[in-house]
Each structure stands twice: as structure tokens, then as C-alpha cells.
Amino acid sequence: MVGGAVLLAGAVAALLAVLAWVSRSHKDRRRAATAAVSFPASIILLNVVLGRLGVWQSTLYTLPPLTLVSTAVLFLAVGTALMILILSGYRRLAARSRRAPLIYGLLLLLVFAPPIMLADSIALTKHYLAFGQGYTIWMDTAVGLMTLALPVLVFELLQRHSQQRPNQVSNDRG
């Protein structure tokens, strides 16, 4: 019970830090924060869906309800904050290169795929994690890379949408 409350307090603190960062700047930061939320939200959703289907099995799912919810909220806040940092680097890269999505994709493969495979191997060996229904480490790595790519995709879509809106307004007037 105390652990759940501490986790929830940590989540609220992280969430307040993200909100403070977003509120002090331009729309670009709001788009980055909106895109960043897609990372932890997609992982939480995958845990709910794949956990219920028995594809993902984790000792995490046995936690008391308050602790489990607090952990999810903390992951949402901290995951968003970490993805904002990654998107900050991506935004700088995109300002310098038209190939930013390709470069980011290659970085995902080279930098993030090996740790996902290693973490899965360790978690499976220690029985913190199990896969069912033919799900494999390779599939989990692909899912992990897709969840890490999702915020960049969302950010790019939001950027393009915001760039098209002024043109549509001026075309409607003209």
C-alpha cells in the first residue's frame, strides 16, 4: 500500500515536470509532448491487451491493484519525459537533415534492438517474463522498436498537419 502511494507520488511529480516544460514554450513542444505520450501509452495498452490474451506474462501483473495502477501512471509520466528528451534530439536532427526519419530508424535498430533482446533474455531466464502463443524475442524486439518509432511518426504527422493548416486557411480566403 505504501509502495503504491510512493509510486503514485513519483508519477505526479514527473507529470508536473512534463506539464511545466510544455507550458513554457511554443507549439512545437506541445506537439513533441503529445507525440511522446504515444510511447508509454502504447506500451501500457499492449500490456493490457497482450497480458489478457496470455501472449505477455509478467510478474508485474500480480501486483496489488493500487501498485499496478501507480506503476502504470509512473511509467506514463517517466516514459513521456524520456521520450520528450529523445524527440528533442530528433527535432534537432530533423532541422539539419531531410533524412531524419531514416537516421532515427537506423539508430533504433543499432542502439535499441540489442538492449531489448538482452533485457528480454534476462527477464525470461529469471522468470520475470514469459511469452505465450508462439511469441518470441524477435517479435518483442520488433514491437519494442515500433513503440519507439511511434512518437516520431506522430510528431511528423502533427508537424505536417500544422504546416498544412495555414495554407488551407489562406487558400480558403483567396
Tens digit of each residue's pLDDT (9 = 90 or more) over 104-152 = 999 999 999 999 999 999 999 999 999 999 999 999 999 999 999 999 9
End-to-end CA distance of the chain: 62
57 φ, ψ (degrees, to nearest 5): -130, 130
Among candidates 34, 52, 38, 32, which has minimal Cα distance to 147?
38
Q: Are 95 and 89 in contact (CB under 8 A)?
A: no
Any bridge partners for residue 129, and if so which?
58
Mean pLDDT (whole number) for 35-44: 95
Read off the pTM.
0.83
Between CA 10 and CA 165 the distance in angstroms is 38
Cell triple for residue 58?
Answer: 509478467
Of the pLDDT bands very low, low, confident and very high (cuts 50, 70, 90), residue 157 is very high
Cell triple for residue 117?
Answer: 533482446
> Crossing angle for the helix pair 137-173 and 113-125, nearest 10 degrees?
140
Between CA 9 and CA 172 the distance in angstroms is 48
| pLDDT at residue 13 in the model | 80
pLDDT one-digit tens code per residue, 100-111:
999 999 999 999
